[in-house]
Structure 1
């Protein structure tokens, strides 16, 4: 980060500091769990520190680097300094952001947890800069409505404390946003207090202008405006948006009051480099009387009636409409004046990870014309990364701050790229999970879900690390390893390694659709074990470390004879499905009354079209794994996984739940898939795996 960036953010942000310093492992434990999860319950694993090693892109240890464990809002939890081998130890018990600073190197922030040894790669600062990108961002619509589901709390912006609530939404990812020289988001909303809205659009957003100040305080330097929502409040709303951003010191491009203004790049210094940001969209609403593009097909004033009042919308107001000719000219012009050219294209199909032919064509145009980095968004789900015509391309960033309630939009990521005058040298993907509309850094199972989803849609140059994906300089290649699976009918689950092929026998590959079914403490926040993406009663501590099978978290359902309703545990939103399923749960129940249910739906909304329910037999004090295969009924496209506990006739009743999985099985002919995390052995098989460099061996333990 540049000195000017640090000083600006220091003025905009007030950060509290709490305990914990350590030099290479010496010091006391920093207790940062809330009172409901006190320190005497122990850490999430047997480890008592976050440990790691800092190296440069050549693998050489970085000595005497400052390493800091950060909580939400950049709160300092513990510090250390790397030794002669680049090693460090931070005395914290929970997942944290780890920040590395060293003169001559670019700052790096990534998610880490106690237990494994983390390898953190830093890039040399001379002649380079770091750019971080977040996806679709808005603070509108459901952020201002009261929750209707008491079992599924979420963020709500109080008009009486708008700034504080905006800050709270961004606080969990502030350390990651503020680390880079320049940080960008796709601002998919006008910032305005006007009630004016586009008269023809079904979905129109409007966020309060205070969002600009909150974004700046969290570390955002630039907002891409070339999207299909920037004109939701028409021309006056666009003017309010640019004024709010300018007032907060946030740069922007991609929309304006003329085509020339919309295509004008934002140019800003980063280290010794100048970076030009271009933004444009393929989603231009050409079928509306008031299209959304500054260089739209009408390109003339339009008079419409809004709320009984006649209004004339001037020509040339709106987003930069992406065409190959206009994009080519804009990139070539920016390349003449800036060291690095970044193009952001808003387009593609919603909820589809694969780019459309139009987005591919525009991306290739930008690359051939001189773009060093092309970052795309609009589908609301994440895609892969690869090189196209020499440029680094991220096909879809997904959401960053959004109020959507669609399951595939919750796992997402931040992209950080080290650039030089020669182009994009290194990229890292840092997984993020949106829970209750709030983005969090993550470790553990949800982190691996994002990692392998990204790898599955990336080129082979992308490799997995313990905490995400790397691409380019400093990435270490995978190696091929084979493993035998002799037990016919057995199911194995991935810990490390991806299926690259089958040399003998037959298997079927599956994918767990529940990224948080282990109830670990995986979020980087102050909540400890908070059951991310699950619905349950929160009137007492329901998710705790000691409630699980292995001391890493589980759920306890409780009922007494005075209760009138069942205790409920289910996923927050309906999970999309497409194929046969296996549902499995680990549970412990001293008596009857516990059930497991799959509820089938034909869409994301509407009533259930069917149910499949099983009673879970009592187990006494023993844990037992329950497993059932299930085929969705005709018309079913979504499912909920539901655990319930009925009240007893008298006395008390309880059940504990852990490691819930919903495995969807793929085509029987598929023999290689990075996303697959389960194997069902049909005939004894020898399987080839790709093994990341951080792992010593393939780990696919038997589940059933």
Structure 2
């Protein structure tokens, strides 16, 4: 039996509207009880055909059945996540991960969104790209009394464990690449330029990456020369010892400009890496003459390197490190240089450095990914933790298909993004790409670009009102179905307040802190499978808050809302803390004043909705800030579906509006 190629729209139609779960808005998902659940789904093959009888289909590792028409049936035992894997002859490995709340309909049935696997074809290769990677600093020496992730006595095993959640997504690729944004050394080399931030990761990371299935690292970035010549030499020695190819830096300018020439999928690829600026410290970060450093991505250097590889009969892939940190879009100079690479024959351009994702663009039929964001990194800013990894299938040097796999940085490691974190990651890349005329569809919870197929535009839909708010989101089951479309008027700064993405294997969300008690993530949820529980250490009130500030918030009006259940009557007080201009983040977290923003009384027993509306005043400055919720009178409180909304704005991310009209 063989199933021919289909588009995302065809899969949805074949699946049947009656069997699709509704939009994953807060109103639509019932609480998920611990149990085993039958799961159904639908597989389509794109770009060719495959013998479905020969495929191995698994749900959380257990065998599942696939029918001649591609219908999948299996059982998932109670778990925080449901992972579908499809492998076999004639296709590239396909992996999809969901939270139970994304599968469980109001009728209790669990249904997978329609999924697609890419058929193998002559000359077709699969490439995987992850963003910024380092495994030093807070992995070994954490802040805020957090747990250590990498121990000296178990270093390689600890490092390998950090890659495990995403390994199924890249292990089968013909060529997998990341941006290694760190020096590799066995110790702090000490002789660093006067930079505000320098990185080093133990040299064992090179072998760990290679053993996990990473085939190449780009070094064209602003941290490869953090410890000048000794650090660069140590990095290159570690990579060479691990037989892990690299490019984008070198012991001199000529070596830095060289491509890593790799053969993958029967094609000759040339991997080029560049950093977009020289840096202000001395010595600077780029290779010049006989001095080492990163390859400087000037117009002339990019043009010369790409043309050289094209002339040699190879297909160049350019990775460019540039644009502004924490921005929404590339800088003008970065965009120009990336397009220049395409103009001169690059098959594909992938960029990083902003630590957050940017949009993608089909430029002259070739793909530019303007920023992947972080992949394995110890930043604790919430804005950096919803991003994506990129899979690209090339037919020769031409794009067949690209998939954007939403990921979140959980416990500093990459894991598949689900629920609210998926919605935030997807909306950002869908809308920023649409600005450039590039359409991203949805299939299996992934973003999809496929120039040869008329993939429908996903609809960002308004759900029914709940507690005075309307949630917007993509329906993963029917992404292009007509729906109530309206303009969101607020953005959710928390993104993961539904707590469905709060744990993955051993990883736990470390973005929350508590004073006067302990926190845990539990299955006793208001909706979905996970909630956050606070247990007081004594009779004094406990205070729960994000551990750090959200990056500058300019909006005057804010709302904190969500569901709470307490053992008995409790008093809730909302406080707002801002980081004053000129104050360090650490100092402000310790001593900046706490501004009262309202109190509420709740009765004990069942779930109750709470909402605090905040007006910062007409002269509110754009400052980093965070909410703190003080809970008194009860020893235990469980919170779920929390929102922290900034009104009168609609930046990319999760979005809401007031059901009573514009807030």
TM-score (normalizing by structure 1): 0.78
Alignment pair present for 1:654 and 2:636: yes
Alignment pair present for 1:112 and 2:105: no
Distance change (3 Å), C-alpha of 1:475 and 1:97: farther
Corresponding residue for residue 410 of structure 2: 435
Corresponding residue for residue 186 of structure 1: 179
Q: Deviations over 1:390-411 (max 9, x none)?
A: 3201111111111222221121
Question: Does the Cα contact within 8 Å between 2:461 and 2:485 map onto a contact in 1?
Answer: no
- Within 2, Cα distance between the matches of 1:480 and 1:349? 30
Corresponding residue for residue 117 of structure 2: 122
Aligned-pair CA distance for 1:351: 0.8
Q: 2:276 aligns with which of 266, 271, 282?
A: 282
Q: Deviations over 1:297-334 (max 9, x none)?
A: xx4xxxxxxxxxxxxxxx33111101111111111222
Corresponding residue for residue 554 of structure 2: 578
Distance change (3 Å), C-alpha of 1:407 and 1:338: farther
Alignment pair present for 1:631 and 2:637: no
Give 1:457-468 correspondences, 5 Å limit: 457-459=432-434, 460-468=438-446
Question: Does the Cα contact within 8 Å between 1:581 and 1:665 map onto a contact in 2?
Answer: yes
Corresponding residue for residue 176 of structure 1: 169
Alignment pair present for 1:253 and 2:269: no
Q: 1:66 aligns with which of 56, 59, 71?
A: 56
Distance change (3 Å), C-alpha of 1:292 and 1:446: same
Question: Does the Cα contact within 8 Å between 1:44 and 1:520 map onto a contact in 2?
Answer: no
Alignment pair present for 1:201 and 2:195: yes
- Point out where structure 1 has 5 or more consecutive residues left out of the alignment: 1-41, 71-76, 300-314, 685-703
Corresponding residue for residue 4 of structure 2: none
- RMSD across aligned positions (CA): 3.3
Aligned-pair CA distance for 1:101: 1.3
Corresponding residue for residue 212 of structure 2: 218
Corresponding residue for residue 308 of structure 2: 333
Aligned-pair CA distance for 1:558: 3.2
- Within 2, Cα distance between the matches of 1:269 and 1:118? 35
- Within 2, Cα distance between the matches of 1:261 and 1:125? 36
Corresponding residue for residue 515 of structure 1: 495
Q: 1:56 aligns with which of 42, 45, 51?
A: 45
- Within 2, Cα distance between the matches of 1:251 and 1:138? 17
Aligned-pair CA distance for 1:480: 6.9
Corresponding residue for residue 232 of structure 2: 238
Question: Does the Cα contact within 8 Å between 1:53 and 1:120 map onto a contact in 2?
Answer: yes
Q: Deviations over 1:468-487 (max 9, x none)?
A: 311115572127799899x9
Distance change (3 Å), C-alpha of 1:123 and 1:659: same
Question: Does the Cα contact within 8 Å between 2:518 and 2:536 map onto a contact in 1?
Answer: no
Q: 1:554 aligns with which of 531, 547, 552?
A: 531
- Within 2, Cα distance between the matches of 1:203 and 1:335? 37
- Point out where structure 2 has 5 or more consecutive residues left out of the alignment: 1-30, 104-110
- Within 1, Cα distance between the matches of 2:573 and 2:338? 50
- Within 2, Cα distance between the matches of 1:481 and 1:540? 37
- Within 2, Cα distance between the matches of 1:167 and 1:482? 39
Question: Does the Cα contact within 8 Å between 1:96 and 1:524 map onto a contact in 2?
Answer: no
- Within 1, Cα distance between the matches of 2:485 and 2:143? 51
Distance change (3 Å), C-alpha of 1:162 and 1:683: closer
- Within 1, Cα distance between the matches of 2:137 and 2:652? 36
- Within 1, Cα distance between the matches of 2:36 and 2:179? 39
Aligned-pair CA distance for 1:253: 0.4
Q: 1:133 aligns with which of 126, 129, 135?
A: 129
Distance change (3 Å), C-alpha of 1:416 and 1:524: farther
Distance change (3 Å), C-alpha of 1:643 and 1:356: same
Q: Deviations over 1:523-544 (max 9, x none)?
A: 44256xx556323489978322
Alignment pair present for 1:228 and 2:222: yes
Aligned-pair CA distance for 1:582: 1.7
Larger displacement relative to structure 2 (618-627 or 358-367): 618-627
Partner SS for 1:517: coil
Corresponding residue for residue 645 of structure 1: 631
Question: Does the Cα contact within 8 Å between 1:132 and 1:414 map onto a contact in 2?
Answer: yes
- Within 2, Cα distance between the matches of 1:441 and 1:253? 28
Distance change (3 Å), C-alpha of 1:197 and 1:83: farther
Distance change (3 Å), C-alpha of 1:192 and 1:568: same
- Within 1, Cα distance between the matches of 2:577 and 2:249? 44
Aligned-pair CA distance for 1:202: 2.5
- Within 1, Cα distance between the matches of 2:261 and 2:362? 24
- Within 2, Cα distance between the matches of 1:541 and 1:142? 21
Give 1:307-322 correspondences, 5 Å limit: 315-322=290-297
- Within 1, Cα distance between the matches of 2:75 and 2:493? 34
Question: Does the Cα contact within 8 Å between 1:584 and 1:626 map onto a contact in 2?
Answer: yes
Question: Does the Cα contact within 8 Å between 2:303 and 2:340 map onto a contact in 1?
Answer: yes
Distance change (3 Å), C-alpha of 1:506 and 1:219: closer
Corresponding residue for residue 457 of structure 2: 478
Alignment pair present for 1:399 and 2:374: yes
Partner SS for 1:292: coil
Question: Does the Cα contact within 8 Å between 1:581 and 1:629 map onto a contact in 2?
Answer: yes
Q: Deviations over 1:357-410 (max 9, x none)?
A: 110110110010111110011111111111123320111111111122222112
Aligned-pair CA distance for 1:208: 0.9
Question: Does the Cα contact within 8 Å between 2:357 and 2:388 map onto a contact in 1?
Answer: yes
Corresponding residue for residue 353 of structure 1: 328
- The alignment of Structure 1 onto Structure 2 pairs a total of residues equal to 600
Question: Does the Cα contact within 8 Å between 1:328 and 1:365 map onto a contact in 2?
Answer: yes
Larger displacement relative to structure 2 (573-582 or 549-558): 549-558
Distance change (3 Å), C-alpha of 1:480 and 1:467: closer
Q: 2:657 aligns with which of 679, 682, 700?
A: 679
Larger displacement relative to structure 2 (185-194 or 391-400): 185-194
Aligned-pair CA distance for 1:341: 2.1
Question: Does the Cα contact within 8 Å between 1:559 and 1:566 map onto a contact in 2?
Answer: yes
- Within 2, Cα distance between the matches of 1:165 and 1:488? 43
Distance change (3 Å), C-alpha of 1:419 and 1:90: same
Aligned-pair CA distance for 1:354: 0.7
Aligned-pair CA distance for 1:636: 5.3
- Within 1, Cα distance between the matches of 2:542 and 2:51? 52
Q: Deviations over 1:576-596 (max 9, x none)?
A: 322121211212333123333
Partner SS for 1:350: coil
Distance change (3 Å), C-alpha of 1:434 and 1:342: same
Question: Does the Cα contact within 8 Å between 1:166 and 1:214 map onto a contact in 2?
Answer: yes
Aligned-pair CA distance for 1:680: 2.7
- Within 2, Cα distance between the matches of 1:428 and 1:282? 26
- Within 2, Cα distance between the matches of 1:484 and 1:588? 25
Larger displacement relative to structure 2 (132-141 or 466-475): 466-475
Aligned-pair CA distance for 1:47: 7.2
Corresponding residue for residue 151 of structure 2: 158
Alignment pair present for 1:368 and 2:347: no
Corresponding residue for residue 700 of structure 1: none
Corresponding residue for residue 84 of structure 1: 68
